[in-house]
Amino acid sequence: MGRAVVILDFDVRPNRKPLSHTDRQALLSAPVFGKVFTDHMITLRWDAERGWHDGRLEEFQSIALPPSASVFHYGQEIFEGMKAYRQQGGSIALFRPERNAARFNASARRLAMPEIPVETFVRAIELLVRQDRQWVPHGAGTSLYLRPFMIATEPTLGFTLPSRSYLFCVIACPASAYFSTRTGPPALTVWLSQEYARAASGGTGAAKAGGNYAAAFLAQREAVDRGCDQVVWLDAVEHTWVEEMGGMNLCFVQQSAADEPASLMTPALTGTLLPGVTRDSLLQLSGRLGLGRSEGRINVQQWRKQCEAGQITEVFACGTAAVIAPVGRVRGASDEWTIGDGRPGPVTMRLRDELLGIQYGRIPDDLGWTRIV
Ligand code: COI
C-alpha cells in the first residue's frame, strides 16, 4: 500500500462531442450544486501488483464495475471537495490543493486504502480544470466544484483484508452558492441531533469517508422535517458537546466584554470531526482581521447561555461547498434560541469577504494559498 511512485502523466483522450458553447453557457448562467457535470473526468487505477497506473483524462462517463466490487458491500470510499475560481483577469486558481491532497491521504490511511502522491493528485486536478476551463463560471460567487474520490474495486465479498484494487476519479461541476438568496447568504436554522451521533472516538469522524455522510442522512432528514436547514452533531458520549454540521465545521464569534476584541472559537480537532481546509484558513485569517482565535469546546447549554448573555454574537458554518454560511437560529427537541438578531453578523461577513477575496484574486494572496492553473 502507498507505494511512492509519482505518476505525472495521464493519457489525454478528449471527448469528441463536448457540450456546445450555447448549451454550456445556459447551464453556467445559474449552476445548481452537483447536478450538471463537465465534459471530462480523470481516472487512475491502483492494484497491489502495479501500484498507481493507467491514468486517463477522458470523457465524463459511467463507471462499469462488477456487482461484487468491494465498495458496494463494505463502503470503502473516500472523497474530497475543492474549487477552482475564475480570477478577475480571466485566469483560474485552485485554493490550497495540497491541503486537500494531504487530507485525502489521511482519509486513505484510516480506510486502509492506498495513498496517492500529492503531486499526482494535484496534477490530476489541474489537468481536468485546464481541459474543462470553459466550464469555470464567471458569475459572482460561482466556481467549479471538484470532487476527487476513491473506491474499492476488488470483486470480492471477502472481509479478511481490504480490497486489493482501487479506482481514483475526479469529476467537476459548476457551482454557485450552496445556500443562497438573492441578497447574499441567508442565516440558517440548525437542528441539534440528540438521538443520533456522527462519530465516536476511534471511529472515522476525521476522515472524509462516504460512510460518514450515508449515516448522516437520517438526522439530516429529521432536521429538514423540523423546519431546519442542517443538523448539528453533538459528541457521541454525553450528547452535549458541539462537534460539527456533517458537511461543514462550525465557528462561534465570542465577545467576552464590549471593550475586548471579538474572538473566533471552533471545536478542537478531537479525532471525531473533519479537519476542514476552510476552517483552518479562517483560523489563520482571523488574526489579520484583529480577531482572537481558539480551538476549544462548547456544550449546548453554554451555547444558549452565551447567546442570551450577548457573549456569543455570531455563529457560522464553513466548508468548501458552503463557504461561510451564517447560522441564525438553533432548534432542539425542547429548546430553541436565536443568535444575535438572527441575521448574518458583521464578523462573519468580514471573514467571508476576506476569504472569497483571496480565492477570487481580489485581495493579494500573501499566504501563497492560490495556485494558478
Ligand atoms: C464540501 O464542502 O466540499 C463537502 O464535501 C460537503 C458536502 C456535504 C457538499
What single string gives the DSSP state of each residue in 239-268? S-BEEE-SSSEEEEEE-SSTTSPPEEEEE-
Residue 369 covered by a domain: no
Cα 79 to averaged position of ligand 1 atoms, centre (Å): 9
Find the CATH number of the domain harbouring 147. 3.30.470.10
Cα 99 to averaged position of ligand 1 atoms, centre (Å): 15
112 shares a domain with 208: no
Q: Give the closest residue (by CA) to ligand 1 atom 3.
A: 81
Q: Is 319 in the pocket of ligand 1 (CB under 6 A)?
A: yes
Task: Give the single-character DSSP code of 299.
Answer: B
326 shares a domain with 348: yes
Q: Rounded to an integer, what distance in angstroms lies between the CA atom of residue 221 and that of residue 230?
A: 9
Residue 196 covered by a domain: yes
Domain count within the chain = 2
Task: Give the single-character DSSP code of 178.
Answer: S
- Count other C-beta atoms under 10 Å from residue 142's C-beta: 21
Q: Rounded to an integer, what distance in angstroms lies between the CA atom of residue 32 and that of residue 150?
A: 24
41 shares a domain with 171: yes
145 shares a domain with 29: yes
Pocket test for ligand 1, best of 320, 323, 324 (most atoms within 8 A of CB): 320
- The amino acid present at 110, given as its one-letter code, is R
Q: pTM for this one?
A: 0.94
Handedness of CA 8, 366, 326, 255 (dihedral sign): positive
Question: Which atom of ligand 1 sits closest to the CA of residue 321?
Answer: 2
Confidence at residue 2, expressed as pLDDT on a 0 to 100 scale: 47
Cα 115 to averaged position of ligand 1 atoms, centre (Å): 21
Q: Give the closest residue (by CA) to ligand 1 atom 9.
A: 321
169 shares a domain with 196: no
254 shares a domain with 154: no
215 shares a domain with 126: no
Confidence at residue 25, expressed as pLDDT on a 0 to 100 scale: 86
257's grid cell: 466584554
Question: Which atom of ligand 1 sits closest to the CA of residue 145?
Answer: 3
Query: Among the three residues 146, 175, 204, which one is the final residue of a domain in this structure?
Result: 175
Q: Is 81 in the pocket of ligand 1 (CB under 6 A)?
A: yes
Find the CATH number of the domain harbouring 305. 3.20.10.10
Residue 180 covered by a domain: no
90 shares a domain with 213: no
202 shares a domain with 163: no
Q: Is 370 in the pocket of ligand 1 (CB under 6 A)?
A: no
Mean pLDDT for each consecutive 10-residue tract of the chain (373 residues)?
A: 58 86 85 92 96 95 97 98 95 98 98 97 97 94 96 96 98 87 75 94 97 96 94 96 93 89 96 97 95 96 96 97 94 94 95 96 95 96
Strands 336-338 and 323-331, sheet pairing: antiparallel
CA distances from 159 to 151, 206, 276, 320 (A): 16, 23, 31, 34
Residue 366 covered by a domain: no
Q: Is 276 in the pocket of ligand 1 (CB under 6 A)?
A: no
Cα 51 to averaged position of ligand 1 atoms, centre (Å): 29
Parent domain of 110: 11-175
